[in-house]
Amino acid sequence: MSHKFKVRQMVRMKQPAHFEARTSSDGVYEIVRLMPSDETGEPSYRIKSATTERAVRESEIRAT
């Protein structure tokens, strides 16, 4: 399965957790790296905001 999003593209979490509302001032993240698909075949990404960086699955994010 190919990646839907590209490096440097801005995205938002589909279901932001409570702590994310406090750590990301506007809820927007930048894709910094495309990662291999997980065991289910779903593509993964490294995303970052001004204060945090994390790994997410493609189904967890949406375009801004």
On whether residue 27 sits in a domain, the answer given is yes
List CB contacts of 46: < 8 A, sequence separation 6 or more: 31, 32, 33, 35, 53, 54, 55
On whether residue 2 sits in a domain, the answer given is no
Which range marks the domain in which residue 54 is found?
Answer: 10-63
Instruction: Give the total number of structural domains in the chain.
Output: 1
pLDDT in tens, 49-60: 988 899 999 999
On whether residue 44 sits in a domain, the answer given is yes
| pLDDT > 70 fraction of the chain, expressed in percent and rounded | 84
Q: Name the pTM for this structure.
A: 0.82
On whether residue 50 sits in a domain, the answer given is yes
On whether residue 31 sits in a domain, the answer given is yes
pLDDT in tens, 13-40: 998 665 555 555 578 999 999 999 989 9
One-letter amino acid for residue 38 of the chain: D
On whether residue 3 sits in a domain, the answer given is no
pLDDT band for position 6 (cuts 50, 70, 90): very high
